[in-house]
Chain A
Amino acid sequence: MFCNSVAYREGVCMIKGAYIHIPFCEHICYYCDFNKVFIKNQPVDDYLDALEKEIAQSGSHPNLKTIYIGGGTPTALDTQQFNRLLNIVKKYLLNESIIEYTIEANPENITPEKLYLMKESGVTRLSIGVQTFQDEILESIGRLHHPDDAAKAVGEAKKAGFENISIDLMFGLPNQTEDMLIASIQEALKLQTEHISIYSLQIEPKTIFFNRMKKGKLTLPGQELEAKMFETLIRTLEEKGFNHYEISNFAKPGFESRHNSLYWQNEPYYGFGAGSHGYIYGQRVVNSGPINKYIQRVNNRGHACTATHQVSITEAIEEEMFLGLRMKQGVNKRHFYEKFGRPLNSLYNRTIKDLKQKGLLYEDEDRLALTHEGLFLGNDVFSSFLLG
């Protein structure tokens, strides 16, 4: 198995990011299709044991740059469990080379204790799931917190000494108007965080919203309004000095998410925990999703990898394009050549010409990037770069 091979161990030094998945929640949001379960009656301690084993098995990581703990809801763990998690990371992953260490948090369960523990354990960045500042909408998408909780959470995080805070917002929510979105952004701006992510709602199978939509019981804003909202939010945040560095991400200069940027730059990363995805040594790997299966596998084999896919050169090139173009800076032609040994233009001559003609793509000597219109019709652009 790859986990024990010499080549794998040598390749470790190139892997710059580690994602750790905590699949537990106190409440399930109506739109969420990530790997998650109600925390009540779950074998959380066994899970942490397995997680420790999985991470320990992966070896040492002297050159790791970013750590990201996401969920689920990492802060749904109780204080003791939470401390245990931080200690695992400290023991096996944390070292001087780390430049960013993010934990996702929900406003309702960020306690001063947890903030203190995080700060003590080297966490540098918090990503807080706020989603919106309208109480009635929060309730209708299945969130437990209230608008005040968000402000309080950000305030306490700052008090605890965090200087890199991101908040997540959403648009295109059921019954959300453009005014509501603007109001939410204004509230978010008041909190003076360094980073804001704004995702648009996608209805995914196996979610409460999906079932409601099938029964015709979900009123969504529709494409016109959604586009208008996107336009407005980009303008508003850029006016306030945020850099729109990725389709859904805005940062004050220097506060772009390093970890997420690894994904878009098509760089390798680890995925630890149930249902997590990694990109290791040219392979996309997926861990078992069900908690018990994950624990069982790690205990039996030292890892929980259930599927691997060797990424072909063609696929790697496609991914370089459709991930890279998500970023404002786009795809750098020189990097592309260095990575793949052939010029970008020779591969995609017709596609580039066609997309430029449609006004969706910008090109200069150094790079390819989405135009403003391309930002809106990104999927048309991305899918055009599939070679098959």
Chain B
Amino acid sequence: MTASARKIIHVDCDAFYASVEMRDHPEWRDIALAIGGRPETRGVIATCNYLARQYGIHSAMASATALRLCPQLLIVRPDMARYRAASQQIHAIYQAFTERIEPLSLDEAYLDVSGVTLCQGSATRMATAIRTRIREEVGITASAGIAPNKFLAKVASDWNKPDGQFVVRPQDVAAFVAALPVARFFGVGKVTAARLKALGIHHGADLAAADPLLLTQEFGRFGERLHQLAHGIDKREVEPERDRKSVSVEETYARDLPDLAACRAELPELLAQLKSRISRAGEPPLRALVVKVKFADFSQTTVEHAASTLMLDAFGRLLETGYARGQGRAVRLLGLGVRLGNSDARQLEFEWEED
């Protein structure tokens, strides 16, 4: 490709699961609706419609909390089969525009439309066309961001959400990033945002002006990356066959697990689930084992260790470490996962592990 700027579109469906439900149940269109688990089983909200959001409800919130905020909220169980079908329809629409599609989830994808000649080569008009077809053919709305890189495309798709789009043209990148609050930067959560603020860094312009050495000292490699993003630089390619980097399973328990022994007792079940996920992923080589523990107060921790095989006793020891960090707090959620290694070469192991 030439050195001219790339054209990346980030498409993000609006309240995807809820939109599919409202499409299929018109009677739910004008009420507060959430998709998620039941409050009595410690369920969590996966998505909610925009009406529900007005009550302060958001994804990953406990269903019980959501009901306290909005007692008339209708919570329905997710129906993944219908969501997947809608996702496939949307994917087919993307394919009419480009082969370079990187799906991030069922309802979100990056498209690289650099060099595509449709719509006279205008990425903005392609994004409009994609959104129109999604509305007409799938019956839900989507928002889009158009920018020279993935980072800005993703920020832009949120700009006029729902059912809108926003373009960051190459010549506008510098001004756009300069005015961007740090919390909008990829990878910056509450904690990092607070640390940045403590350093007097509030907007992209502050980040761009910050000493890269200081950022690296404070945030390691992530600091270096932030500095690059603040200069509008994000070289990540749209990767059509997104390599899986990890596989994991987790379970939120109907009753908090009171102690380590109770947590340990859940490991075999989780390990069995994990094994089946890994085999569905084609038995990729493993690089590390990970245990995630979420405590009753919603604080969470993960512990990992390099390993190339699944081992119950190894997960047990990671759990011990993770559990200890809760200083006796009860456990709400346990997760087991693996980080995947490179498949170029694979050292075989002796087979004496427990099964």
A binds B: no
* Interface residues of A, Cβ cutoff 8 Å to B: none
Q: Which residues of B contact A (CB under 8 A)?
A: none
